[in-house]
């Protein structure tokens, strides 16, 4: 059986994620940026990745287990880093107040998973992107957009904002 492959849009977003993470980590370890700049960078990184997943067609791919598993692994890793950053042993890392927002991706993915399971059980359809749609039809998913699709996208958007801003 052939191993499932990631679509180009997922590969691009994953590469962007790792590139920005490497830049932030390098800047943090070698002091290339001020603590405030790193703090802002971590916050924007934590907010940006789930927003990019939600607002582009990358959201459709999360319905596939191999894609979801990749992002879940990244989300769990970031959440562990966030929790570790709050310990006294790594006090220097915890000086960035946005470290707690690193849990945003994991929280987004868990809420996505729950809502997707609920939607599949009730309608037989999976979550689709409703952002930047000019008609009540999603061409990538090849299906009509319903009111509950918009509601779910709004709930996911609120989840991302709340998690980032409140640092759950």
SS3 143: strand
SS3 137: strand
Radius of gyration in angstroms for the set of CA atoms belonging to the chain, rounded to a whole number = 17
User: pTM for this one?
Assistant: 0.89
103: pLDDT strictly greater than 80: yes
For residues 104 and 167, give the distance between their C-alpha atoms in angstroms, rounded to a whole number. Answer: 8
Q: 59-100: per-residue pLDDT in tens?
A: 999 999 999 999 999 999 998 888 876 655 544 554 456 777
Q: Give the three-state DSSP class for 144.
A: strand
Better-scored residue on pLDDT, 125 or 134: 125
Q: Contact at 8 Å (CB) between 82 and 99? A: yes
């Amino acid at each position: 059986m052939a191993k499932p492959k990631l679509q180009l849009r997922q590969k691009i977003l994953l590469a962007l994620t790792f590139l920005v993470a490497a830049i932030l980590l390098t800047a943090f370890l070698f002091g290339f940026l001020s603590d405030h700049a790193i703090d802002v960078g971590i916050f924007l990184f934590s907010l940006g990745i789930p927003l990019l997943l939600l607002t582009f067609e990358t959201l459709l791919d999360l319905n596939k287990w191999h894609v979801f598993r990749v992002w879940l692994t990244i989300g769990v890793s970031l959440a562990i880093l966030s929790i570790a950053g709050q310990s006294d042993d790594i006090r220097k890392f915890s000086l960035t107040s946005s470290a707690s927002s690193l849990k945003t991706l994991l929280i987004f993915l868990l809420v996505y998973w729950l809502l997707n399971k609920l939607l599949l059980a009730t309608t037989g359809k999976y979550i689709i992107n409703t952002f930047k749609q000019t008609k009540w039809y999603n061409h990538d998913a090849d299906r009509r957009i319903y009111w509950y699709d918009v509601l779910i996208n709004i709930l996911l958007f609120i989840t991302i904002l709340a998690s980032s801003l409140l640092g759950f």
